[in-house]
Structure 1
């Protein structure tokens, strides 16, 4: 899917769903949050103590990166890679 202004909302919803499913394989719990907040919608993966292990937002830049990961079936790997610069092994310790 080529991202355009016209299809951004549709593409964003596709990305949210794909990231949520991948997040469920990385963390004991995953959820969508941030609706109406300044930072916007995110998907978080949390551990048993409700501590965030991974988090992904869905601005234009993220959506344009996630779409190719969806097409290649590598969303889980994308989540790990994008978090790796912030946290050792891509996971918040």
Structure 2
């Protein structure tokens, strides 16, 4: 932590962290993913993993406690967040046959 209380967007239990986690999981759900949170208490830190329900080969994965990753997500407005998820994980993928 950066101080006696968690305050930064990458520090678990800070208001910014919890808000970003909610925002990310909501966007994923709206786009057809099934988000799950894992890694709590591990050395690698907490992450969001989400399987795309239309094509289970597509799996979103993002570390929440990495400062660079947290800053990146927070730099995106809601529209840009959705576009990033679509461009990075959904576009160009072939459906399962």
Tell me which interval the TM-score lies in, with the shorter structure as reference length: 0.5 to 0.7
Deviations 1:26-80 (A, max 9, x none): 33411111111232111121145976621111110011111121xx223222334
Q: Distance in 1 between matches of 2:68 and 2:51?
A: 23
RCO comparison, higher one (Cα < 8 Å, 6+): 1
Equivalent in 17, 33, 52 of residue 12 of structure 1: 17
2:74 match: secondary structure: helix
Higher helix share goes to which structure?
Answer: 1
Structure 1: gaps spanning 5 or more residues: none
Structure showing greater Rg: 2
TM-score, normalised with respect to structure 1 = 0.64
Instruction: Identify the residue that residue 84 of structure 2 maps to in structure 1.
Output: 78
RMSD: 2.9
- What displacement does 1:25 show? 2.0
Partner Cα distance (2:69, 2:27) in 1: 15
Structure 1 residue 43 and structure 2 residue 52: aligned? no
Q: Normalising by structure 2, report the TM-score.
A: 0.62
Count of matched residue positions in the alignment of Structure 1 and Structure 2: 82
